[in-house]
Amino acid sequence: MKNILVIGATGQIGSELTLELRKRYGNTHVVAGYIQGAEPKGELKESGPTEIVDVTDQEVIEAVVKKYQIDTIYNLAALLSVVAESKPKLAWKIGVDGLWNVLEVARMHGCAVFTPSSIGSFGTDTPHTQTPQDTIQRPRTMYGISKVTTELLSDYYYTKYGVDTRAVRFPGIISNVTPPGGGTTDYAVDIYYSAVKGEKFVCPIGEGTLMDMMYMPDALNAAISLMEADPTKLVHRNAFNIASMSFAPETIFAAIKKHVPGFEMTYEVDALKQSIANSWPDSLDDTCARNEWGWKPMYDLESMTIDMLQKLRAKL
């Protein structure tokens, strides 16, 4: 990777990924692509080039790729799970039609493409414990359907046109920097804010609901490490299971309460979020990612909790 375009650079992952890429590759080599109404601010705006890049406009994408001689595109444009259910047509337009535009530009200009998939790409028929790398994927949400389609479309462009497509299936991502934006796993971020603010947390996910989660530093490292990996060693491409930790609401509550003894939590289950969570894996088997490109997370629940509380106390 020499010159990188991040589409969706002001989003939950994109804002932090863009800065991390700039640290590793140099500020001038990473372009932050954004849409009108979601302009970069602060360090994200000041540290490197920014351009309006609407994933639904192929000509705009191509113009930016040519202007900056882009060789790698991180395509992070998507609606999160709960939002996608309320706007399914828009979710498809951004997630699938948008990816088609990115892949066409990549095909014409020789770019590698990273488009994240998700644990949402599985469904109720998928084995929920240690979900295999290769297994049935029959989701019943528009978010999940679009993610399965991005996996297949990315594979198609690799096998038919030789476009270097790669992806991971992200679990729920927990960040101390970017606030949640409409995902099923957002409770695992909100709960830390409540603890630091001294507020009782009202959990929208039911007790005993296991979901795979990951701390943002590990997510960023996965996205970058996969794109840096030796392509000759990749048996799979779109998309790799990656795992770090799996827990239910009562587990993360107990982890926080060790450090915030007076913290309290109650439950008010959100029916939509719960139904989505029930269709997702409890845990993932990430053996292929570990074997093919050396994936290894740095954080578990305890180390993440310590870091989250420390960072949020300083922030708030």
Active site residues: 143
**Structural contact between residues 187 and 270, judged by C-beta atoms closer than 8 angstroms:** no
d(CA 166, CA 124) in angstroms, rounded, equals 25
d(CA 295, CA 288) in angstroms, rounded, equals 9
Who contacts 89 (Cβ-Cβ below 8 Å, separation ≥6)? none
Q: What token pair was written down for 12?
A: 């939950």
d(CA 195, CA 38) in angstroms, rounded, equals 29
Nearest in space to 164 (alpha carbons), one of 236, 112, 104, 228: 112
CA 115 vs. chain centroid, Å, equals: 9
**Structural contact between residues 225 and 293, judged by C-beta atoms closer than 8 angstroms:** yes
Q: What token pair was written down for 14?
A: 């994109």
Tokens 């700039």, residue located: 22
In angstroms, how far is the first alpha carbon of the chain from the final one? 36
Segment (H or E) for 133: none
Buried b (16+ CB within 10 A) or exposed e, 279-293: bbbbbbbbebbbebb
d(CA 259, CA 173) in angstroms, rounded, equals 21
Buried b (16+ CB within 10 A) or exposed e, 136-146: ebebebbbbbb
d(CA 212, CA 195) in angstroms, rounded, equals 21
Beta-strand relationship, 165-166 and 117-118: unpaired
